[in-house]
Structure 1
Amino acid sequence: MNMLKAFRVVGYSEGVSFLLLLGIAMPLKYMLDYPMAVTVVGAIHGGLFVLYCMMVVYLKFNQNWSITKAALGILASVLPFGPFVFDAKAVRSQ
């Protein structure tokens, strides 16, 4: 599997984990007093977030991404649905 395909897999995983954290784990914590959900999903999301950001930096140099494209990739990692939009607009067009 090449790095771009691996990045797409990590991007989708990071995006899904973020949505699970925001949409399921946090409501479980604050509405049903079940903080373990955030602990588990948050840890998984945190690892995927770091991996995603590291891959953006790697691809910036390895695939000669512009600084703008790399910055948009990092920005996408902190926005709900961001990795999906970044993949559709910037990665697939490459």
Structure 2
Amino acid sequence: MTSLFRSPRTLYGLLALAEMVTWTLLLAGMAGKYLLRLGELGDLGVRIGGSLHGFVFLSYCLVTVLVAVDQRWPLRDLVVGLLSAVVPYATLPFERSADRRGLLAATWRLRSEQPAGAAEGTVAAALRRPLLAAALALVVVSVVFALLLAAGPPTQWFR
């Protein structure tokens, strides 16, 4: 598991790819439900694809913030990184662009560097205890995910 946390490039690339895969599952479920009219089977596809996508979406956003703080991304790149999760299939092109522009290093800066400020201190603590941080992140993402499930589908939030 700690090999996932070996570098920002590895972790961010994995989450960007996972986000794209779950977009595909969600869109396939929606196609089954709305275009092919598969009834309960289509509804099941949307529930499974939507749930997986929602969980990975939240995880991607959390990792985007983690990497942005560690790598000292400009605010613009952080915002674009977060927004790339909203647009289907945009996470991988953003990740590749970030890597080309030197925003994804081969090592975590805050594993060895002294943190400056509360955000960097939190990220440094997480990077120095990756298993504990992963467990805590899993709990936080799960709680947020459960709250969003209780709130219902996003299409019903503004009715």
TM-score by length of 1: 0.89
Cα offset for 1:88?
1.9
How many Å separate the matches in 1 of 2:64 and 2:15? 11
Which residue in the other structure is 2:33 paired with?
Answer: 29
What amino acid is the match of 2:69?
Answer: F
> Would the aligned equivalents of 2:15 and 2:59 in 1 still touch at CA under 8 Å?
yes
Which residue in the other structure is 2:147 paired with?
Answer: none
| RMSD, aligned CA | 1.3
How many Å separate the matches in 2 of 1:91 and 1:56? 13
**1:39-50 correspondence to structure 2 within 5 Å:** 39-50=47-58
Please list every run of 5 or more consecutive structure 1 residues that lacks an aligned counterpart in the other structure: none
How many Å separate the matches in 2 of 1:78 and 1:19? 13
Cα offset for 1:75?
0.9
Higher helix share: 1
Cα offset for 1:58?
0.9
Higher relative contact order (CA 8 A, sep 6+): 1
Q: What do the CA deviations read for 1:37-71 (whole angstroms, capped 9, x no partner)? A: 11111111111000000011111111101100111
Please list every run of 5 or more consecutive structure 2 residues that lacks an aligned counterpart in the other structure: 1-5, 103-159
Which residue in the other structure is 1:91 paired with?
Answer: 99
How many Å separate the matches in 1 of 2:25 and 2:32? 11
Cα offset for 1:6?
0.9
How many Å separate the matches in 2 of 1:41 and 1:58? 25
How many Å separate the matches in 2 of 1:5 and 1:16? 17
How many Å separate the matches in 2 of 1:19 and 1:90? 23
Percent of residue pairs bearing the same amino acid type: 28
Structure 1 48/74 Cα, relative in aligned 2: closer, same or farther at 3 Å? Answer: same
Name the count of aligned residue pairs: 93
How many Å separate the matches in 2 of 1:91 and 1:20? 26
Q: What do the CA deviations read for 1:61-93 (whole angstroms, capped 9, x no partner)? A: 111011001111011101112012102212343
TM-score by length of 2: 0.55
How many Å separate the matches in 2 of 1:55 and 1:32? 35
What SS does structure 2 have at the residue aligned with 1:35?
A: helix
Aligned with 2:24 (options 5, 10, 19): 19
Structure with max Cα Rg: 2
